């Protein structure tokens, strides 16, 4: 497998595997205490993990200003340091937050806020440009999103960003942004347990990159939830919101979801892969435009995820076997 991908039509090259930086942002929450992070983190370990990923060939890092209410961007900026020019950095905007209390307080889809948010992200990341800037309001009004698309074109002309995208699971909204000259991608959820055929097809049709979030199903596809351990307080999985499947009432992973993972274990771990590496390999087999962005909080996780690059995509036969096990039609882009 080629270990690099073109980022849509932008001319930017990224590693076929990116790293998602949500988890390294640490704890943050809604005003009523709903956790939005993945629990406690060790910043020094996060920095070591980013640098280890770089050494292993990962050159694409995806964060957002709201992850840890700015903390993820700060940690990523520290970790990259003088190697900033060796990587492609993506961040997102649209959520409003209070850094002092680590609270998400609302959202703002105005062009004026987009500029303020970008200025703040550049400062936290310690850089003078962002490679990919992404709208982080999945259900933003399409008419207002058109104005934001034009604002992003302004940012490109000013040299503040190189390309832009929308983080949304709605194909019609993603298609709206795709009409912009410098739109390079759509970020959407997908994994071996939950396919996204319309979005993969859109990416192929519009020559976009599918930046795939939740490629390991919020950890279910790592195998670490097999014993149904209760997520720690401060972890979003301890009080899962409606949009987060697989964790029920927060007392542990849903047995039905775990049963599906176990049914897939043999095919995903064939050829010496770990379960997580097999899940990433499924995405590469599913679409040549897929760039999965698994999360990480440790050097060990970085090494395991980056190890998937050497294994590459599943075979066509393995892809068909996954569909047979899950009782769905074999997917095509």
**pLDDT tens, position by position, for the chain (333 residues)?**
789 999 999 999 999 999 999 999 999 999 999 999 999 999 999 999 999 999 999 999 999 999 999 999 999 999 999 999 999 999 999 999 999 999 999 999 999 999 999 999 999 999 999 999 999 999 999 999 999 999 999 999 999 999 999 999 999 999 999 999 999 999 999 999 999 999 999 999 999 999 999 999 999 999 888 778 888 889 999 998 988 898 988 888 899 999 999 999 999 999 999 999 999 999 999 999 999 999 999 999 999 999 999 999 999 999 999 999 999 876 666
Beta-bridge mates of residue 164: 133, 183
- Provide the CA 78 distance to its chain's centre, in angstroms: 20
**And the tokens for 3?**
């270990």
**And the tokens for 303?**
């090494």
Residue 109 CA to residue 102 CA, distance in Å, equals: 21
Q: Are 168 and 186 in contact (CB under 8 A)?
A: yes
Q: In CATH, what number does 4-326 get?
A: 3.20.20.100
Residue 274 CA to residue 332 CA, distance in Å, equals: 25
pLDDT for the residue numbered 330: 66
Q: Active-site residue 133, yes or no?
A: no
Judged on CB neighbours under 10 Å (0-12, 13-18, 19+), 108 is: middle
pLDDT for the residue numbered 329: 75
């Amino acid at each position: 497998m080629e270990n690099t991908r073109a980022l849509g039509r932008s001319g930017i090259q990224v590693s076929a595997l990116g790293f998602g930086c949500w988890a390294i942002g640490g704890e943050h929450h809604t005003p009523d205490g709903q956790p939005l992070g993945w629990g406690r983190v060790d910043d020094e370990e996060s920095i070591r993990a980013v640098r280890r990923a770089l050494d292993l060939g990962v050159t694409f890092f995806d964060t957002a200003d709201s992850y840890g209410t700015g903390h993820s961007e700060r940690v990523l900026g520290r970790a990259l340091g003088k190697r900033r020019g060796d990587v492609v950095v993506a961040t997102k905007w649209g959520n409003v937050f209070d850094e002092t209390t680590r609270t998400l307080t609302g959202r703002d889809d105005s062009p004026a806020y987009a500029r303020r948010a970008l200025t703040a992200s550049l400062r936290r990341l310690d850089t003078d440009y962002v490679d990919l800037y992404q709208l982080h309001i999945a259900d933003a009004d399409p008419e207002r999103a058109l104005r934001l698309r034009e604002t992003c074109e302004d940012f490109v002309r000013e040299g503040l960003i190189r390309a832009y995208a929308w983080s949304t699971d709605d194909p019609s909204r993603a298609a709206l942004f795709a009409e912009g000259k410098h739109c390079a991608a759509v970020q959407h959820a997908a994994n071996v347990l939950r396919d996204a055929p319309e979005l993969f097809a859109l990416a192929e049709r519009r020559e976009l990159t599918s930046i795939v979030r939740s490629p390991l199903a919020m950890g279910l596809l790592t195998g670490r939830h097999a014993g149904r351990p209760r997520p720690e307080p401060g972890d979003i999985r301890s009080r899962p919101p409606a949009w987060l499947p697989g964790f029920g009432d927060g007392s542990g992973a849903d047995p039905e979801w775990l049963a599906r993972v176990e049914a897939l274990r043999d095919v995903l771990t064939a050829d010496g892969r770990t379960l997580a590496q097999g899940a990433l390999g499924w995405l590469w087999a599913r679409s040549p435009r897929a760039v999965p962005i698994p999360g990480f909080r440790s050097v060990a996780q970085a090494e395991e995820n980056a190890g998937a690059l050497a294994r590459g995509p599943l075979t066509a036969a393995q892809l068909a076997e996954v569909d047979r096990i899950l009782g769905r039609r074999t997917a095509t882009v």
